[in-house]
Every structure is written in C-alpha cells, then in structure tokens.
Chain A
Amino acid sequence: MITFWSELAGLLPFEWAHYGFMQNALLAVLLVTPILALLGCLVVNNQMAFLSEAMGHSTLTGLAIGVLLGLREPMASVIGFAVVLGILMFLMRRYSAAPPDTAIALVMACVVSLGVVLLSRGGGFAKFSSYLIGDILTISPRGILGLAGLLVLILLVWVFLFNSLFFVHLNRPLAASRGFPVRRMELFFTILVAVVVATAMPWVGLLVINSMLIIPAATSRNLARNTRQYILLAVIVGILCGILGLVSSFYWDTATGATIVLWSCGFYAISALFRR
C-alpha cells in the first residue's frame, strides 16, 4: 500500500515529492486534514471550540502518564487519558455550578500543569517539545495506518450518527422531545473529540491542533449557504491548506503544523471578506 503510494507520489513533477518522508507526510496530511475539518464543523456548531482547545493541551498529561509508566508507546496512555478527560469534561459542562468556560479553563489549568510538572522532572522537558509543535515529517507507516483508521471511524460516525449529533446540539429539550438520546450523544461526541485530538496530536502538535479543527469550519461558515456546503467546503479548505502548508514548510524549513494553520488563517481572512 505504502509502496504503491510512494510510486504514485513519485510521479508528481515536484522536487519535494521525491523524498520518502515527504511522500509519507503528504499521505498523512491528506488523512488528518479531512478528519479534523469534519469534526471541526460540529465542534463549531456546538460551540465547543474552547473545550477542544482544552483537550488538545491536556493530551500533554496523557503523554506524561505514559512516560511515567515507562510505556514504550505512550499513545495508549494519551488516548486512554483523553477518554477519561472527555467524560470528565462532559460531566463538568453538564453539572458544574461554574459557567462552562470557567469550568473548562479550570480543568485545563489543573491537567496541563500536572502534565508539565511530570514531564519536567529532572529538567527533561526539552525532549518532549516535538509534541508541542508536532512532527508530521517523521510519521511512520504505522502512524499513517492509525490516521487511516481514524478517518474510517469518523466517516462511519458521519454517515450513521451525523443527524443525531447535529440535531441534539441545536436545542436539547427539543431533541429530547423528539426521542433523541441527548445525554448519550453529548457524551459520545465529547469522547470522540478527545480521541481524535489525542490521536492526531503527535503529528500536528498540541499548540496548533485546535486551530486545524476550528479554522476550516469557521472559514466555511463565512461562505456556506447550508449544512451540506458547510461540511464539504470545510473539508476542501482543510485539505488545501494541508497541502499548501506541507509544501511551503518544506521550502521554508518550518514546522509543518503551524505552517498549515497560517495558510488556513489566510483563507479565513479572505473568506471573511466574501461573507454572505
């Protein structure tokens, strides 16, 4: 599969397309950007941008726990921790007496500082800084396979559960009156965001992962006339910025995740000018 891809990408008439790491990175970008763009559409619809930001930052603590436990593959603890955090965030949002944004900021502050304290023991934080800015250029075939699995998962959810996830967040009592399982859907979506963010974090970087989630959706909202256009346009913007960002980071020698985000900021600015 990967060999086939490498032959295919090698046919591109560009210098960068002949490097093995760039071929892998391109495939990874083509997988991760639609995942984040699709998810981002509902995150923005549900006004959960701050929640997803908090989840992105909190993945650091999952990593710290994995390192502390001496796991060879810290991703297991990153994703496991994300699920726990998703449940916690759901409960906070639903039952906390504090306003939701304060509650989220509070949880994020506790969790992130715990992560930093654990990782910085003995002054060793520097070796984890790659997680902050992400490193899609080093992605392995296994990492690509993980992203492919995630894309399949998201597409399945988007085909079978999209309407419920969409309607539940329109108005809760209205959804309840029409027999939607409101609480289960909210919990499921929060966990889904946590898992996706955690899985994509090492490649994109936890500083910018939320931007890759939110900006394609925000850009699309400026132009879309209905939900169909909203979703499709967000995916197109996400993929386009991903490719532009990857290639320009190659020539500029910059961090890929952040370069992708800068491109999407540009797209957002242009879309704001054409807002309907």
Chain B
Amino acid sequence: MNNSGSIRSCGECCTRLVNFGVSLGSKPVLDHIDLHMHCGELTAIIGPNGAGKTTLLRAMTGDLPHTGSLRFIHRGNIENSKPLRIGYVPQRIEIDSTSPTTVMDMFASSLSRWPVWLGTRASVHHKTRECLALVGADELINRKLAEISIGQLQRVFLALALIPVPELLLLDEPVSGVDRAGMELFYQTVSRMRKDFDLSILLVSHDLAAAARVADRMILLNRSVLCDGPPGEVLLNPLIRSTFGFGFTADEIPEHDPRGNSLLHDRCQWPREGSGPA
C-alpha cells in the first residue's frame, strides 16, 4: 500500500457498463444502463428512494445477477478488457452490539487464508495498520466494529476497499448518519485516495449539494439513466424538481471542490438524455 506513486493516471482506462440490467424476482429494477467511467473520475448517482441506486452497486459487486456487461477497458483497448477489481464501501452495516469482531479480524479474514481464530500473522497486521493509516484510522485496529462511530466505521471500510487497490471504487451513501466533521474527513480522504490511486469512483448520495461539490459528473437514476452530465448542469435540469420536489437555481449550485481532481472530462462520449423521463 505504500507504493501509491507506482500507479499513475493514464486517463485512458475506462469502466464500461453496456445494456446493464437487474431484475429482482420477475420485477426489472434497472434497465438499459449504459455508462462509461474514466479512471480518476468521480461520478455521483442521485435518484429517489427505490430508484435502484443500491441495486446497481450490489449488481456491480457481483452480489446480484445482472444482464448486459461490465468491463474494465485498459487504455481504450477493448480486446484487452478484463473483469474489474472493485472496492466497495457498504451503505450501513448492521453490527450487533455484542459482536466481538474487531477491525483487525475483518481485515485478516479478508486478506489472509490463515484462520482468524488462530491469531494474526505479523505481515497481515503490518499491512492492515499501513492501510488504516491511509485513512487516519490506524489507532482503531484493535477496536471492535460494534464500538466505533459510524464515521470511523466508514473510514475503516474505505481502507479495506483500497486493499488491494481497486480500479473502481463504489461508495453507497458512505456518509449517511455521519456527523458534519466526519463527513468532511471522509470526503477529504476520498479526494486524496482518488489522486493517489487514480480511482474511478461511483458515489451514491442523498445529499445532492454535497455530491455536487465533490463529483465531476452526476447521474440522475430512476430505473434507467434519466440525466447525465456535470453536476452544475444536472442540478438545473427540470427533472430534478419533478423527481425530488425541489430544484436548484444557478447561484445555488455549490462550487466544485478544488481538491477534486477533475481533469478527465470528455474522453468518452456520455449518453446525454436531458429530456423528460420515459
């Protein structure tokens, strides 16, 4: 994890969803999703409750079956495409208060085959501490998951998602229930990771203003992609008002966060469907 310098931005790698769809039972939840995401790009997904945002992320992790394809395309070469290495930060994980599982246990069970109940090897312990240090959480290593705050927990999950370094990072409402300071800290960490590791990030968020501040690109999702573009454009779209019941005016659009390394626009053609929903 200390070799962040070795992974440099190429700007030409691309995650591509083609005709992606998910059904739960016989009910189609998502349909005809076509998305391209470049490395280094942070895409925010917004949408009403039940729009299929979490389902999209779960299907991308492989937890739910999907139709269509999900590929990572290396330097624009489709022939060279391979399955993605995905990092995932869950929405909110339920941990019962008596759970003895520690941060170390979680990392060790994921990073090593040596059974956790026989103890942790020094190399795994070292690797875990290093990785936690990236998100400023190394002092939490021996704490139980059940006794740390939600904000701390989300940073721990972020650290886990970064090891091994993923090509695509999925964040499912990572700051819901986190206090203001924790939220700032989380987004700062994400911005830094994004620069250091040149990650593509897909962020599901309910907080439209916060999402607009950190994202390069915003997607309004409701069973399919309704609207796709820079946050400033998407938030001014009349669809926002019809979907959420409130809208934004031009001077209410939050300024883009300068820490966000948004250099990678317009390398792929994005499907633009600014017009009304089907």
Binding site for B on A (CB under 8 A): 45, 47, 158-160, 162-164, 166-167, 170-178, 182, 218, 220-222, 224-232
Query: B interface, how many residues as a size bin?
Result: 35 or more
B100 at the interface (CB under 8 A from A): yes
> Nearest chain-A residue to B86 (Cβ)?
A177
Interface pair A158/B144, CB less than 8 Å apart: no
Interface pair B157/A166, CB less than 8 Å apart: no
Q: Which chain A positions have C-beta within 8 A of B101?
A: 45, 170, 226-227
CA distance A225 to B101 in the complex (A): 8
B170 at the interface (CB under 8 A from A): yes
Interface pair B108/A163, CB less than 8 Å apart: yes
Interface pair B99/A166, CB less than 8 Å apart: no
Q: Which of B100, B113, B157 contacts A229 (CB 8 A)?
A: B100
Interface pair A163/B116, CB less than 8 Å apart: yes
Q: What's the nearest-Cβ distance from chain B to residue A45, in Å?
A: 7
Interface pair A227/B102, CB less than 8 Å apart: yes
CA distance A153 to B127 in the complex (A): 32
Q: Which of B63, B100, B104, B109 contacts A224 (CB 8 A)?
A: B100
Interface residues of B in 144-167 (CB under 8 A from A): 144, 157, 160-161
Interface pair B88/A162, CB less than 8 Å apart: no
Most buried by A among B109, B112, B119, B142: B109
Given A173-B61, A173-B88, A227-B100, answer yes or no on A162-B106 (Cβ-Cβ < 8 Å). no
> Nearest chain-A residue to B102 (Cβ)?
A226
Interface residues of B in 87-144 (CB under 8 A from A): 87-88, 90, 93, 96, 98-102, 104-106, 108-110, 112-119, 142, 144
CA distance A220 to B101 in the complex (A): 12
Interface pair B99/A221, CB less than 8 Å apart: yes
Q: Which chain B positions have C-beta within 8 A of A220?
A: 100
Can you list 30 residue pairs at the A/B interface with Cβ under 8 Å?
A47-B96, A159-B118, A163-B112, A163-B114, A166-B105, A167-B106, A167-B109, A167-B110, A171-B90, A174-B61, A174-B88, A174-B90, A176-B62, A177-B86, A177-B87, A177-B170, A178-B88, A221-B99, A221-B100, A224-B100, A225-B102, A225-B142, A226-B100, A226-B102, A226-B104, A226-B144, A227-B101, A227-B116, A227-B117, A228-B105
